[in-house]
Chain A
Amino acid sequence: EIVLTQSPVTLSVSPGESATLSCRASQSVSSNLAWYQQKPGQAPGLLIYGASTRATGIPARFSGSGSGTEFTLTISSLQSEDFALYYCQQYNNWPPSDTFGQGTKLEIK
């Protein structure tokens, strides 16, 4: 099983600044990685797929990068609505055995 490790567990950033979230895979997942945002009481929502492609309607301040085992989600000019939980997910295997990271909580500093 591919294990995804997200860091940090909690990230405190001030509005208007940038945030960098990391996701490391225990083995290569190529570019088959997605990022999700989850707000309290809500379902996760897709932000990024293919490691760097923004999902429909996602603002350009969200960007993803990386391949292989190291991935980054960068959020620039943080808005109040961006403070939430963020999860990465790999989907590199067939038959599917998709796995998620444990999440990073982005909180207001």
Chain B
Amino acid sequence: EVELVESGGGLVQPGGSLRLSCAASGFTFSDYWMSWVRQTPGKGLEWVATIKKDGSEKYYVDSVKGRFTISRDNAKNSLYVQMNSLRAEDTAVYYCARARHYDILIGFYSDYWGQGTLVSVSS
């Protein structure tokens, strides 16, 4: 059974940093691209970042470029996102998701999601 478990969320001040982790099990982690998706009551669901199976390619939504870094450790079956220079608008539930696509020239849908971890950016 596929399982994704996020951790690392919490309250952080504007300008601060946080690192989220996602522990994957039930599938061969190194065979899949992986994504972070966030959700806020106001903006709904927003794709944040996606990383290739071997970590060699990374893609980000414009609003987090230069501030967030997605990474993975295939030996530990784990996905990460380092979030720096956090802003109030980064407040959201962050989901780890397994990314799928069937054409190399299109994006990804997510077939499995974790339960999410809440990040609150406030002074």
Is A87 an interface residue when CB atoms closer than 8 A count as contact?
Answer: yes
Is A32 an interface residue when CB atoms closer than 8 A count as contact?
Answer: yes
**CA distance in complex: A103, B46 (Å):** 12
Query: Contact residues of A with B, CB < 8 Å?
Result: 32, 34, 42-46, 49-50, 55-56, 87, 89-103
**CA distance in complex: A32, B107 (Å):** 8
**CA distance in complex: A101, B46 (Å):** 9
Q: Are A100 and B59 in contact (CB under 8 A)?
A: no
**Interface 9-residue window, one of B11-19, B68-76, B109-117:** B109-117
Query: Contact residues of B with A, CB < 8 Å?
Result: 44-47, 50, 59, 61, 95, 100-102, 104-116
Q: Which residue of A lies closest to B44 (CB)?
A: A102
Q: Are A100 and B44 in contact (CB under 8 A)?
A: yes
Whole-angstrom distance between the Cβ of A16 and the nearest chain B Cβ: 29
Q: Which residue of A lies closest to B48 (CB)?
A: A98
Q: Which residue of A lies closest to B116 (CB)?
A: A43
Whole-angstrom distance between the Cβ of A62 and the nearest chain B Cβ: 15
The residue that B107 contacts in the complex, of A45, A93, A103, with Cβ under 8 A, is A93
The residue that A94 contacts in the complex, of B47, B102, B106, B109, with Cβ under 8 A, is B106
Q: Are A94 and B100 in contact (CB under 8 A)?
A: no
**CA distance in complex: A109, B59 (Å):** 42
In the complex, chain A residues whose CB is within 8 Å of the CB of B114? 43
In the complex, chain B residues whose CB is within 8 Å of the CB of A87? 44-45
The contact sample of 20 A-B pairs, CB cut-off 8 A, is A32-B107, A42-B115, A43-B95, A43-B116, A44-B110, A46-B109, A89-B109, A91-B101, A91-B106, A91-B107, A93-B107, A94-B104, A94-B105, A96-B47, A96-B59, A97-B47, A97-B61, A98-B109, A100-B44, A101-B44
Given known contacts A55-B111, A91-B108, is B100 in contact with A96 (CB within 8 Å)? no
Most buried by A among B102, B106, B111: B106
Q: Are B109 and A100 in contact (CB under 8 A)?
A: no
Most buried by B among A90, A94, A98: A98
The residue that A100 contacts in the complex, of B45, B106, B112, B115, with Cβ under 8 A, is B45
In the complex, chain A residues whose CB is within 8 Å of the CB of B111? 46, 49, 55-56
In the complex, chain A residues whose CB is within 8 Å of the CB of B95? 43-44
